[in-house]
Structure 1
């Protein structure tokens, strides 16, 4: 079977039917994400960033795969819930609410807002709803106001060591392209310039070729837990955002630099003993502070497959193809659950299922379907052009 067919069929006949069948809350609106191996709901709390992610997924499929009214209706189920229950009177989004929308936890970072904005933008394209389109722009504006303080009052660190985090410039590089239909062209280019500079010049270390999670404002490293922290999945995911920008701007140098970075990160973070990509690492090989550092996570491997497939599409680099085959074989052999559908999320270092959930507080309807779509389209292009060497 060709890769494009594998990803397309898995997306449309496995992943999406799983969420259509088990996650919809038709009574209260929104989606249940805490689903066990077979799709049974084991907790009814709703996590706002996952509500946004799932609403985005179904609008994206409607816009890019097929104008299936069922998909648009499923997205609307989440959009309406977000508009009614997802935010406070200031327009800031919660982290979680009860199944019927009562606030539980305030958002302790900006990512609930980011995924709500993405969802509103895609739904506005699909539905033509001008109010939702305006809301997407408003949420984006609120995000920019917090660019220097994304955690707000939940920031625990003092100013003694002013480390800045990678997550926000990383997500902005994708978010701005998602919101291109609602933003002024000048704002789009300005944010792209900011994101590319931050990702490729501030957080990317020229000596090692690795992306650091925290650096000093001038890009220098600090010899501390946070200063040495690497999240390989984050770094690799950011590289496919950079490739998308490179394609948009016809910037082959950026695509090539992103490709080199993918190779550096994979070489550093691959578990030679058991296979798979480590979750967290210390740049100097010291014990990481994260106790889950050696787990193998679904999203890390899926985002790597997207990055590798996009990189190969635009470079035909044989080293990328070799790594793609290696990561593909590991991911499909360990995370996929053909018996019950969808993918497991968490493996121990040996590659054994650690948590048999299909969704929870952190895993929802997003990384798996998005990766399936992105890899399908990349390989569709690769295979149609006979670029699969």
Structure 2
């Protein structure tokens, strides 16, 4: 691999395209927070505010301030979003809502524990940037609340009949593996170790099925396979994203075996999810090859490809596995020839199977200022680390 071929591309896209797009079009200067429903040109087409995306954008600008450059405009953007969240984001019990109207009035109950996850990330980064105790308290208090809800994340908002086909979802244990590293310095070391050990075991031994070569989205509480729509569901992008979380944990603990195992699983997943006809990675698949329940199963999504690029680069950095280099080149070529919008900036999010934009929006209910900038940053820095490693070995 020749990292110097790509470093400027990822850095330039982050700092001169994607971040300026969101800085220009997203802030709500009247009510606070961010507009995330932006059309191709960046014009607001809906003013509802979704907590996932509000928190993620606060995190993004605070992270850039902490790790790239102490630009005051980045910190001010993060602080503005945080102020809106502090005023409007939580119910009386401290749970974070799913959505608000433009003025901050709640629209949808706090049914999603991922609002809490992203709030933890946001205020953890802001504490690093400012040292303000109130941000630390919000981050840690929310994290402890997540752990309390871990066994029953949806609580009273669950639609399932109690006891009827109980299933555990991959999403929460996956994200906890990353979340605990985000706020590690704010937590007791024993708790950090416990969450990490449990997370690695859950991801690698419960949801990953070596006999199938995939990570399942849902399993029975004992880890067994459920032959149902939910139990057969594979989201290759989710599995691939989780593998760079595993690699970060492996780096933290100098666990070379875990790093190599994560690489092996990542290669299995990208080979499994790759569309052999049109290229790109499928959104959803049925592990038995049955028709998926999700009608959007064959779409090609921005975040799936961005997370895959991160995983492949980190895999190459940590192990030197040439399969990572091969697949990085392949996924990079597909991603950069389909998702970036050279006319109006930022990236398209949703392509059909043939790779044509289904929607030209740059942000909506699910796509915001997160996966693209985080991915560009991670790839840029990982490529620099690979370059340094190569230089040392010459």
TM tier relative to shorter chain? over 0.9
SS state at 1:94 partner: coil
RMSD: 1.2
Deviation for aligned residue 1:308? 0.5
Question: In the TM superposition, what is the alpha-carbon distance from 1:375 to its structure 2 partner?
Answer: 0.2
- The superposition leaves residues 169-191 of structure 1 with CA deviations (integer Å, 9 ceiling, x where unpaired) of 00000000001121111111110
One of 125, 137, 142 as aligned partner of 1:139: 142
Match of residue 89 from structure 1: 92
How far apart, in 1, do the equivalents of 2:245 and 2:218 lie? Answer: 19
Q: Which ranges of 4 or more aligned residues in structure 1 deviate by more than 4 Å?
A: none
Number of positions where the alignment pairs a residue of Structure 1 with one of Structure 2: 389
> Residues 45-84 of structure 1 correspond to what in structure 2 (within 5 A)?
45-84=48-87
Match of 2:160 in 1: 157
The equivalent residue for 1:368 is 372
Task: Between 378-387 and 248-257, report the one with greater CA deviation.
Answer: 378-387
How do 1:334-345 and structure 2 match up within 5 A? Answer: 334-345=338-349
2:307 to 295, 303, 307: 303
In structure 1, how many angstroms separate the alpha carbons of the residues matched to 2:228 and 2:295?
A: 16
CA distance in 2, matches of 1:249, 1:371: 23
SS state at 2:362 partner = coil
Partner of 2:133: 130
280-289 vs 147-156, greater mean Cα deviation:
147-156
Could you tell me which of 6, 29, 32 is aligned with 2:32?
29
Post-superposition CA distance 1:22-62 (Å, at most 9, x none):
00112111100000001000000100110000000000000
Deviations along 1:85-144, whole A, 9 cap, x unmatched?
001111011111011101101132200110011000000110111111111110001111
TM-score, length-scaled by structure 1:
0.98
Task: Normalising by structure 2, report the TM-score.
Answer: 0.97
> Secondary structure of the residue that 1:136 maps to in structure 2?
helix
**Equivalent of 1:192, from 193, 196, 221?**
196
CA distance in 2, matches of 1:220, 1:5: 45
Equivalent residue, structure 2, for 1:41: 44
Contact 1:109 1:152 survives alignment (8 Å): no
| Distance (Å, rounded) in 2 between the aligned partners of 1:235 and 1:55 | 25
Mapped to 2, the partners of 1:153 and 1:357 lie a distance apart of 34
On the 8 A contact 1:121/1:181 being kept in 2, the answer is no
Give the whole-Å Cα distance in 2 for the aligned partners of 1:249 and 1:80. 36
Q: Is the 8 A contact 1:208 1:264 kept in 2?
A: no
- What is the match of residue 3 of structure 1? 6
Q: Residue 212 of structure 1 aligns with which residue?
A: 216
Match among 149, 174, 193 for residue 178 of structure 2: 174
Q: How does 1:205-284 map to 2 (within 5 A)?
A: 205-284=209-288
Q: Determine helix, strand or coil for the equivalent of 1:386.
A: helix
CA contact (8 A) 1:134 1:182 kept: no
Distance 1:297 1:97 in 2: 25
Structure 1, residues 326-376: CA drift from partner, whole Å, max 9, x if none? 100000000011211110000000000000000000000000000000000
The Cα shift of 1:386 comes to 2.4
| 3-state SS in 2 of match to 1:37 | coil
Residues 246-287 of structure 1, C-alpha deviation per residue, up to 9 Å, x if partnerless? 000000111001000001111111000011000000001000
Q: Distance in 1 between matches of 2:298 and 2:90?
A: 35
- Structure 2: runs of 5 or more not aligned: none
Take 2:311 and 2:179, find their aligned partners in 1: how far apart are those partners?
17
Secondary structure of the residue that 1:157 maps to in structure 2?
coil
What is the distance in 1 between the residues matched to 2:183 and 2:390? 33
> Following TM superposition, by how much is the alpha carbon of 1:316 offset from its aligned partner in structure 2, in angstroms?
1.2
Whole-Å separation in 1 of the counterparts to 2:31 and 2:349 = 27
The alpha carbon displacement at 1:219 in A equals 1.3
Secondary structure of the 2:164 match is coil
Give the SS at the match of 2:98: strand
